[in-house]
Amino acid sequence: MTAVALRHARYVVTENPITLVAFSMLLMLLLLALLGPALAPYDPLKSDTANTLKPPSARHWFGTDQLGRDMLSRVMVATRLDMAIAFSAVALSFAAGSLAGACAGVFGGWTERIVSRISDTIMAFPLFVLAMGIVAALGNSVFNVILATAIINLPFYARMARAEANVRREAGFVEAARLSGNGTMRVLAVHIYPNCLPPMMVQASLNLGWAMLNAAGLAFIGLGVRPPTPEWGILVAEGASFILSGEWWIALFPGLALMLAVFCFNLMGDGLRDLIDPRRRT
């Protein structure tokens, strides 16, 4: 089974050059996230007052900031935090939202009403403002950023899962599963839920980019992650005040990193779905 899965994975990745590019970028980002601190040429937190605000050069590829810290190292090390926040938030959101939505789609009645009303309530707020509110109320910490991002993303997964489950509920194979002696919970867990997932994989991938932007945005305005922890949003915030005075590199490189990461996640959407959906397994 695993041999087949690996062969399929290789096929999917190589079939479409865009998917290949996206997966390569993802691999690079993951590598940086895991090994960032080890690979960084300088200590990201170490200030060097002799070398402040130096433009990109051979010694400092991304230049230095107002405290003389190497920008390249800061951007590299920040990868870990940003990726961690994005993945955790989406994973949490996906798990909770899809389960709630699938249950709502299958059971209907009060389950559906409750899930729908909660979703509607969340969606009634401008989502970023809601995230701001949650982090402000609960306190500035990485966990709260993850929680806030997960909460504002719930409705999308819940709605998708509910629609998918609703359609599958009437399918022949679901009836066949009941005839085979599967109880309601088993039918939901083994037959309906796994089939709801493929269409949601694309959404999840797009969400990763969005979650990252969300966290960066919160950090930019001073909520959630606080300096001196390197995080792309904070780096952009710090660099923003220097743009007008001509030190463009402080904000540009973290901004670029953010852009590339989000771009990569968006491209990955289709590739991920192909991997999961057995219909495409040939």
Partner 1 sequence: MDTLLEVASVSKRFPVTVKGASRGSEHFLQAVDDVSFSIGRGECVGLVGESGCGKSTLVKLITRLSDTSDGRIWFDGHDIGTVPADRFAGMPQRALIQMVFQDPTDSLNPRFTAFDTIADPVRRLGPSSGAGEMTERVHTLADMVGLPRELLGRYPHQLSGGQKQRVGIARAVALEPRLLVLDEPTSALDVSVQAVILKLLESLRRRLGMSYLFVSHDLNVVRLLADRVLVMYLGRIVEMGSVNDVFERPRHPYTRALLSCVPESGPAGTSRRIRLSGEPRSPIDPDPNVCRFYGRCPEGVERCGREMPMLRSFGPGHLAACHLA
Interface residues toward partner 1, by CB under 8 A: 171-173, 175-184, 186, 191, 194-195, 278-279, 281-282
For 64, the 3-state DSSP assignment is: strand
CB of 194 to partner 1, least distance (A): 5
CB of 100 to partner 1, least distance (A): 21
Distance CA 259, CA 130 (A): 23
Residue with tokens 């910490």: 141
Distance CA 163, CA 74 (A): 43
CB of 75 to partner 1, least distance (A): 41
Q: Which is nearer to partner 1, 60 or 191 (CB)?
A: 191
Q: Which is nearer to partner 1, 198 or 230 (CB)?
A: 198
CA angle 33, 5, 170 (to 5 degrees): 105
Q: Which is nearer to partner 1, 65 or 112 (CB)?
A: 112
Q: Which is nearer to partner 1, 163 or 252 (CB)?
A: 163
197 Cβ partners below 8 Å, 6+ apart?
98, 276
Query: Max Cα separation, the chain?
Result: 77
* Cα 153–chain centre separation: 11
C-alpha distances in Å from residue 70, one per residue of 36, 44, 102, 201: 14, 6, 48, 37
Q: Which is nearer to partner 1, 179 or 244 (CB)?
A: 179
CB of 151 to partner 1, least distance (A): 30
CB of 198 to partner 1, least distance (A): 9
CB of 149 to partner 1, least distance (A): 30
Q: Which is nearer to partner 1, 18 or 167 (CB)?
A: 167
Nearest to 196 by CA among 60, 81, 103: 103
Q: Which is nearer to partner 1, 130 or 178 (CB)?
A: 178
CB of 234 to partner 1, least distance (A): 43
Cβ atoms 18, 267 nearer than 8 A: yes
Burial of 107 from C-beta contacts in 10 A (0-12 / 13-18 / 19+): middle
